[in-house]
Amino acid sequence: MWNEALQKMPRENEKTRWDKIAPKFNEWMKTDDYPQILASKIHKEPNYSVLDLGCGNGSITLEVAKHVKQVTAVDMSGEMLKFVEKNARKKGISNIEYMQSSIEDLDPDKIGQYDVVIASRSLGNVLNLKKELKKIDNIARKYVYMTHWSATSHQFEKDLSKIIGVPHYISPDYMYVYNMLYQMGIYASLEPIECVSRHIYQNLDDAVERRIWKLGWTASNIGEEKKVKIEDFLKNKLVERDDGTLEYTTNDPNWMLLWWKK
């Protein structure tokens, strides 16, 4: 079921996809309250070592690094890691190590164990899920925190896919991950993460580009006709905020946190 869903998705090389979007992604995360909400739920101690898998631009990495001894930021995208370093320098944070790797290519024997392992919104494209969950659990000494979409997530993309006439493929929601963990003898706790700023855009062009990317396409391969339909859809849905940015106010972008103590 999991692999079948992933194989249907429109996929380009994942590393290339994230490298291309890194500058935009770094800007998008500036209006996202998700990192602060998730970081507040993670157990942190001054002597802890933390592994952040699929760290993106480091929004979680930096929040956690303020409170622990050391964080290793891992991402397949070299461009994303450049933003982690840049953002860390701006904040005067120097206890971060950087590693370019996908979760699948990570060798536990080489990296050793960490007190805390974080896999924030980074499991959705992993093909052999059980293998990677086992790897993550083995690397963690004390805690594991991972997030995955809930049943109410992606309604925006589902509606948009219908409008432009393309199928919407994603991996199964958090219950699939939870049940697999249960079968492995790992009894994870569940907590919803409710964000209020996930769909805020600087302007219409920014909104169009972001939604095309979220659907797994690019402006060059989705075609002009579908792009125009996306623009028309967004014009009817977006509301201008006091600061001039645009917001999709009817979306409920919930994520689910799955975590356990060793």
Please give the average per-residue pLDDT across 236-251, as a whole number. Answer: 83
Q: What is the pLDDT of residue 176?
A: 92
The per-residue pLDDT for range 159-218, each reduced to its tens digit, is 787 888 777 667 788 999 999 999 999 999 999 988 765 677 889 998 888 888 877 777
**Coil/strand/helix, residue 116:** strand
- Are residues 61 and 55 in contact, defined by beta-carbon separation less than 8 angstroms? yes
What pLDDT is attached to residue 257? 97
Is the confidence at residue 11, as pLDDT, over 60? Answer: no
Q: Where residue 71 falls among pLDDT bands split at 50, 70, 90?
A: very high
Over residues 45-54, the mean pLDDT reads 98
Mean pLDDT across the stretch 56-72?
98
What is the distance between the alpha carbons of residues 74 and 55, in angstroms, rounded to a whole number? 6
229-251: average pLDDT: 85
Percent of the chain surpassing pLDDT 70? 88
Q: Model's pTM, two decimal places?
A: 0.85
User: Is residue 161 situated within a structural domain?
Assistant: no
* CATH value at residue 113: 3.40.50.150
**227 domain-assigned:** no
- Asked if the structure places residue 14 within a domain, the reply is yes
The reply to whether 8 falls in a domain is yes
Residue 221 pLDDT > 80, yes or no?
no
CB 102 within 8 A of CB 14: yes
Strand, coil or helix: 103: coil
**pLDDT of amino acid 84:** 98
Residue 125 dihedral angles phi and psi, to the nearest 5°: -115, 10
Parent domain of 137? 2-154+169-200+252-261
Write the DSSP string, 145-181.
Answer: EEEEE-TTTTHHHHHHHHHHT--------HHHHHHHH
Residue 201: strand, helix, or coil:
strand
Instruction: Give pLDDT, residue 242.
Output: 92
Beta carbons of 254 and 194 less than 8 angstroms apart: yes
Confidence check: pLDDT of 94 > 80: yes
d(CA 184, CA 182): 5
Per-residue confidence at 8, pLDDT binned at 50, 70, 90?
Answer: low
Question: CB 119: neighbour CB atoms within 10 A?
Answer: 24
Residue 33 or residue 188, greater confidence: 188
Residue 20 in domain: yes
- Please report whether residue 207 resides in a domain: no
* Residue 111, pLDDT above cutoff 80: yes
Mean pLDDT of the chain: 88
SS3 67: coil
Q: Answer whether residue 233 is part of any domain.
A: no
* pLDDT beyond 70 at 251: no
* Average pLDDT rounded to a whole number, residues 47-74: 98
pLDDT at 252 over 70: no
49 is a domain residue: yes
Query: Given this model, what pLDDT does residue 124 score?
Result: 84
| pLDDT at residue 40 in the model | 96
Query: How far lies 88's CA from each of 53, 114, 221, 223, in Å?
Result: 17, 21, 35, 38
Counting the structural domains of the chain, the total is 1
